[in-house]
Amino acid sequence: MAIITLTDLEELPQPLVVQMEEVIAWAATVTARSAATSQKCVNGLSIIQEMRREITAHFTTQRKPYTDAAKENRAAEKAALALIAPAESRLKKQILGWDAKCRVKEDAAATAALATGTAVSRPSARPTGVSLPTTSRASLVDVQAFLSAVVQGTVPLDVVSSDAVKKAIEVQLTKLVKSQGEFYVPIPGVLVVSTPNVVAPSPRR
């Protein structure tokens, strides 16, 4: 990633760039050694956090036309795909239906051949150039039973210890911790990491 400097920020309003230069330089020199200097840090932080809101608002406005265009592009794509979806679905249904009929006839022929001891004759009535792969997906319908299987070792631990699963679980655990607040009861295997933050009051205009 390229290093961005203030001279690169031509899109920002010039007064804001000047203010950024001043506060960045000032923040590098201030040290909280007393109540007075600590208050100066709070006041400076208040200005910086207001700058953050202004910068975010500015670039949000700047990229809105591109965001709107992207939304229109996705909507047009979705609409175009929706037009061909019924035809695609019907043809798939027809192909799968015919394949099922062929399988029934082939199974019947195989059964008859086995009963009579004759060779199986299977003239293929299927169209060429088509494959019928079977796709499978898992659907979690009983969380309690699934967790019991994990505890018992029936389900490999890797299934629930992948980064994606851990992040999803951590999101839900974080919501639980926040909702319970001081009434949160520690959960085995879960570490609550508290990160202090500082929010300064908005500067008076």
Arithmetic mean of pLDDT over the chain: 85
Q: Phi first, then psi: what are they for 191, rounded to 5°?
A: -105, 125
Most trustworthy range by pLDDT among 27-36, 115-124, 193-202: 27-36
Alpha-carbon span 51 to 53, nearest angstrom: 5
- Write down the pLDDT at residue 192: 92
- Write down the pLDDT at residue 59: 84
The first and second tokens of residue 3, run together, are: 């290093």
pLDDT reading at 2 higher than 60: no
Angle (nearest 5°) at CA 202 between 178 and 199: 35
Q: Phi first, then psi: what are they for 188, rounded to 5°?
A: -55, 135
pLDDT reading at 108 higher than 60: yes
Taking the alpha carbons at both ends of the chain, their separation in whole angstroms is 36
Query: Sorting pLDDT into bands at 50, 70 and 90, what band is 14?
Result: confident
**Domain extent listing, the chain:** 6-116, 143-183
Q: Tens digit of pLDDT for each residue in 141-192?
A: 999 999 899 899 999 888 888 899 999 999 999 999 999 988 889 999 999 9
Average pLDDT over residues 57-61: 86
pLDDT reading at 200 higher than 90: no
Q: Which residue has the tokens 């799968």?
A: 96
Average pLDDT over residues 22-35: 90
- Write down the pLDDT at residue 7: 55
- Write down the pLDDT at residue 197: 83
Among 19-23, 42-46, 132-136, 160-164, whose mean pLDDT is lowest?
Answer: 132-136
| Integer CA distances (angstroms), 114 to 83, 111, 118, in order | 48, 5, 7
- Write down the pLDDT at residue 96: 87
Percent of the chain with pLDDT over 90: 24
- Residue 113 burial (10 A CB sphere; 0-12, 13-18, 19+): middle
Q: What would you report as the CA-atom Rg of the chain, rounded to the nearest whole angstrom?
A: 32
Q: Which residue has the tokens 């150039």?
A: 129
Alpha-carbon span 161 to 72, nearest angstrom: 39
Q: Which amino acid is at 61?
A: T
pLDDT reading at 6 higher than 60: no
Alpha-carbon span 203 to 205, nearest angstrom: 6
Average pLDDT over residues 17-37: 89
This prediction's pTM: 0.54
- Write down the pLDDT at residue 3: 46
With contact defined as beta carbons under 8 Å apart, do 177 and 184 qualify?
Answer: yes
pLDDT reading at 120 higher than 80: no
Angle between helices 14-27 and 35-116 (to 10 degrees): 110
Average pLDDT over residues 72-79: 91
Alpha-carbon span 170 to 177, nearest angstrom: 10
Q: How many CA atoms lie within 13 A of 115 on its CB side?
A: 6
Question: Quick one: the chain helix, strand, coil %, rounded to 5?
Answer: 65, 0, 35
